[in-house]
Structure 1
Amino acid sequence: MRFISARKMEVLLAALLSRSGQVVTTGQLFTELWGENPPRRASASLHVYISQLRAFLSRPGQSQSSIVTRSPGYLIQVGADDVDALDFESKVEEGRTHAALCRYEDAVASLEAALALWRGPALHDLRDGPLVNTYVTWLEETRVECHEMLIESYLRLGRHREVVGRLQMLIVEYPLREVFYRYLMIALHRAERRAEALHVYQLVRRALNEELGLEPCRSLRELQQAILNGEDASDMLLDGPSSPLLGAR
């Protein structure tokens, strides 16, 4: 297996992949590679990096490079099978479509496959430039949305006991993401763990107060009241302002 050793080439490849199938201008690449102060021979250096990257990406029998010169810059042409990030996007969209059509078993399969592609923080050491940083921010937000859709699909299938541990870990990772507390309260209440469900409400209330000076959102307050009133957990609606599946319909 070959590896790119030069950091500039790594940044260049990440920048092109962040806009896969789109032209990235030379000016954008200058900024990504050198910030606001590109060297006097930036154009020549960029040309060398592009040539080296083309050689690195070449495959036996391939007649055309995946990096194409197209005014006013360059674009890279790759498929989802070549890049995990693109495969992730494809599987998330597939899962979203299944969920919107109430095919929750299929949604779970697609969304689990999407999350399985993650091996840690995306491009965490290449985020100095605006192109890569914006792309990684979007990618990470999509990952959170993927978790939300997956959990809701599990809950709609009645598989609430399976998501309790996962939700507890997600709350540690995203302590201000109210939807995960909401789903955990529902899962615990359905599992006849009412006291624990109410304790989760106190956790989110404390976290929001300490960090932002805010109270929980209306859907969380209403859920707490429903649990206090002893409403039937099986009849508890998932749809609400925070529901990613509702937003997809």
Structure 2
Amino acid sequence: MRYELLGPLRVSDGVGNFSLSAPKMEMTLATLLIGAGRVTTKEQLITELWGDKPPKRASAAVHVYLSQLRKFLVTAGDSAGGAILTKPSGYVLVLDDAGYDVTDFQELIRTGRNHQLAGHHEAALEAFELALLLVRGPVLDGMAEGPALSAFSTWVEAEQLDCLELSVESRTALGRHREVISLLDGLITRYPFRESFYRQLMLVLYRSERQAEALRVYRRAQKVLRAELGLEPCRSLRRLHQAILTSDRLLDLPMAV
């Protein structure tokens, strides 16, 4: 049995995938998954489902959703029927031997970072790419509105961007800088305030013998940051700009592999 929350919520029994058609049940299961192994109170579930305006029979509705979820999980592979436990203070989703894409995602990024620190960039890149493949889209198809689900959705996006940045670093270290130019250009368009992507694009353009374009990327960053935030580019971006202007030979040195 496997739970997947990095995109539309689904559960697999190893043969097929099972999805919930009712949004409130999806949000209930997603909230329990975020707190897997820990108690989620009924009040927390009510807040995730209805915010600060719950219906009069919210508590009864939660009971119904949990009863239906238990039946759904049995169909999806929880043969013992004990995945969701009732505790005096709330409910606990027990993973036991079940797979969980969020756990796999975190482990792959951790593995990639360790390989990268050791200078093993091929292995690092493989781990980062596997982690990125696990993210199938916005959490709950973008329907995550409660405080816990919204915070989780924001965390997933931040981790995905960090993973993309790390994968670009490993590709660059392997001399595969031309492969990431289009990717970085698109990321800058989508995330115009993330200065690390400007820095990476400037470096790979310079190493691709496109110095003038690298300098234009800096001016683009400078214009956006000044107009939207009233800020100058960060120190590392300014230093890279100066290094490109002077064709600093250090920029040509390959990173350790």
**When the two structures are superposed, what TM-score results if normalisation uses the length of structure 2?**
0.85
Q: Is 1:76 paired with 2:78?
A: no
CA contact (8 A) 1:80 1:90 kept: no
Quick one: which of 102, 111, 117 aligns to 1:94?
Answer: 111
Quick one: which of 16, 21, 34 aligns to 2:50?
Answer: 34
CA contact (8 A) 2:51 2:146 kept: yes
Quote the residue 1:63 is aligned against. Answer: 80
| Structure 2 unaligned residues grouped into runs of 5+ | 1-16
Quote the residue 1:108 is aligned against. Answer: 125
Question: Which string of whole-angstrom CA distances, capped at 9 and with x for unpartnered residues, describes residues 4-39 of structure 1?
Answer: 122211110111122222211111111111222333
Q: Amino acid of the residue matched to residue 146 of structure 1?
A: C
- Taking the aligned partners of 1:40 and 1:94, their CA distance within structure 2 comes to 48
- Taking the aligned partners of 2:102 and 2:108, their CA distance within structure 1 comes to 10
Q: Percent identity?
A: 46
Q: RMSD of the alignment, in Å?
A: 2.2
Rate the CA distance shift 1:19–1:155 in 2: closer, same or farther, 3 A. Answer: same
SS in 1 for 2:140: coil
CA contact (8 A) 2:206 2:244 kept: yes
Q: Amino acid of the residue matched to residue 48 of structure 2?
A: E
- Taking the aligned partners of 2:130 and 2:90, their CA distance within structure 1 comes to 34
Q: Return 173-182 or 68-77, whichever deviates more.
A: 68-77
Quote the residue 1:44 is aligned against. Answer: 60
Quick one: which of 221, 228, 237 aligns to 1:211?
Answer: 228
Q: Is 1:18 paired with 2:34?
A: yes
Quote the residue 2:167 is aligned against. Answer: 150
- Taking the aligned partners of 1:76 and 1:85, their CA distance within structure 2 comes to 14
Q: Return 66-75 or 212-221, whichever deviates more.
A: 66-75
| Structure 1 unaligned residues grouped into runs of 5+ | 239-249
- Taking the aligned partners of 1:236 and 1:216, their CA distance within structure 2 comes to 25
Q: Amino acid of the residue matched to residue 238 of structure 2?
A: R
CA contact (8 A) 2:70 2:81 kept: no
Shift of 1:74: 1.1
Quote the residue 2:11 is aligned against. Answer: none
Question: Which string of whole-angstrom CA distances, capped at 9 and with x for unpartnered residues, describes residues 50-81 of structure 1?
Answer: 01001101145722422122331112133797
